[in-house]
Chain A
Amino acid sequence: MDHVTRAKWDKAAATFDVMNGRGPERRWGPIKEAFFSKMRGEILFLAVGTGLDIRFFPPGQKITGIDISPNMIEKAKQRVASYDGQMEVRVMDVHEMDFAPGSFDQVFTSCTFCSVPNPVDGLAALGRVLRPGGELHMFEHTGSRWFPFNLMLNVMTPLSRRVGPEMNRSTVQNVARAGFAIQEVENHFLDVVKTIRATVPETTAA
């Protein structure tokens, strides 16, 4: 277990909803609703956080949620309980998941891989718990290739990583490096906020 990352997010849990609740959720709400509407089958939702995204989940799904932070999971419990479907949450590090290979049809992440310390390893771990042909759906913010936005993101990152995410990651490239086949990338704000759909190749696990 990565205790440094756990401690960081345990600390962030107290103010997470205040920082991420109103503005970002209103802004991204319609995009997230469309994004999560693709949920089907056995679903792993990585980094539940305080459960802010649960209200966008379509009803009647079977979802396993994990998060590295017990404090986040504790805060999420009420939202998990109110979900109109089957949902369980567990404290777990993406790098040390104990699910059997091929356990899930889909994995969903939402602003997660800005924070996973070893993103390519974490993504490869997701590939292992997905069945061959399984889908990875990501709603993420990444770095930008365009000036001046890349400058801003690079300036913010040394500060932001102390309390939470990194702002300048190349997440799409990381998904490809982890062995996934990229199916679709859609930009929602500049080339920074985007959705990514990738699959585990049918013949080999990612």
Chain B
Amino acid sequence: MERRPFFVLGDLAANTVTGVVVAWATAALVGAGWNMFVGMWVGMALGMVLAFVLSFAAFIWFLGAMEVMLPVMFTGMAAGMVVGMGIPMNSFAETSLAAVGASTGIAVFVFTYVIDALLGGKVKKWTT
């Protein structure tokens, strides 16, 4: 598992920023009158694409390739899903979008580090 402060803080920042950007972008696209499921799928797709672009435009120069792209795309998908569903359901105010996006990014960051710690090291069985 990654322990160097530059990368740990960088991963945290990348996921947090991505969550906020995707939350704002999804809210700008998905309207209150949308069907909840349509909003969810649109948000997920938009989030993944935006996260992919953000990774290439900014994060990989500093933080690596897979190690930043995978969690950031997961953050994009999750933040897009949450906001894409939430806007039609009036689940949260527009002022809390940044908090929702940032929390999603932090949750994905923690999730990725936990899974990485569980999978890391020598393995006896492999499928990939």
Q: Which of B59, B61, B122, B128 contacts A184 (CB 8 A)?
A: B122
**How far does the alpha carbon of A144 sit from the alpha carbon of B126 in the complex, in Å?**
10
Query: What does DSSP make chain B's interface, helix, strand, loop or mixed?
Result: helix
Given A187-B119, A190-B70, A190-B116, also A145-B127 (CB < 8 A): yes
B52-A156 in contact (CB<8A) = yes
**Which chain A residues border B126 with CB–CB below 8 Å?**
172-173, 182, 185, 191
A189-B116 in contact (CB<8A) = yes
B128-A191 in contact (CB<8A) = yes
Given A23-B61, A24-B60, A24-B65, also A186-B123 (CB < 8 A): yes
A22-B48 in contact (CB<8A) = no
Chain B residues within 8 Å of chain A by Cβ, number: 30
Asked if A128 is an interface residue, CB under 8 A from chain B, the answer is no
Smallest beta-carbon distance B97→chain A, Å: 22
> Looking across the interface, which residue of chain B has its beta carbon closest to that of A20?
B65
Given A23-B62, A156-B69, A186-B121, also A148-B77 (CB < 8 A): yes
Which of B52, B73, B126, B127: most chain A Cβ within 10 A?
B126
**How far does the alpha carbon of A153 sit from the alpha carbon of B74 in the complex, in Å?**
11
Asked if B93 is an interface residue, CB under 8 A from chain A, the answer is no
Smallest beta-carbon distance A147→chain B, Å: 10
B115-A190 in contact (CB<8A) = yes
**How far does the alpha carbon of A169 sit from the alpha carbon of B116 in the complex, in Å?**
19
* A149-191 vs B, Cβ < 8 Å mask (1 yes, 0 no): 1001101100000000000011111000000001011111111
**Which chain B residues border A173 with CB–CB below 8 Å?**
126-128
Asked if B68 is an interface residue, CB under 8 A from chain A, the answer is yes
A148-B67 in contact (CB<8A) = no
**How far does the alpha carbon of A26 sit from the alpha carbon of B62 in the complex, in Å?**
8
**How far does the alpha carbon of A170 sit from the alpha carbon of B126 in the complex, in Å?**
9
* B37-71 vs A, Cβ < 8 Å mask (1 yes, 0 no): 00000000000100010000001111111111110
**Which chain A residues border B62 with CB–CB below 8 Å?**
22-23
B127-A170 in contact (CB<8A) = yes
**How far does the alpha carbon of A145 sit from the alpha carbon of B126 in the complex, in Å?**
9
B66-A192 in contact (CB<8A) = yes
**Which chain A residues border B128 with CB–CB below 8 Å?**
142-145, 169-173, 191-192
**How far does the alpha carbon of A28 sit from the alpha carbon of B48 in the complex, in Å?**
25
Asked if B120 is an interface residue, CB under 8 A from chain A, the answer is yes
Q: Which of B64, B112, B121 contacts A23 (CB 8 A)?
A: B64
A152-B70 in contact (CB<8A) = yes
Asked if A100 is an interface residue, CB under 8 A from chain B, the answer is no
Smallest beta-carbon distance B21→chain A, Å: 17
Given A145-B127, A184-B122, also A23-B60 (CB < 8 A): yes
Interface residues of B (CB under 8 A from A): 2, 7, 48, 52, 59-70, 73-74, 77, 112, 115-116, 119-123, 126-128
Closest 5 CB pairs of A and B: A27-B64, A142-B128, A143-B128, A172-B126, A152-B73
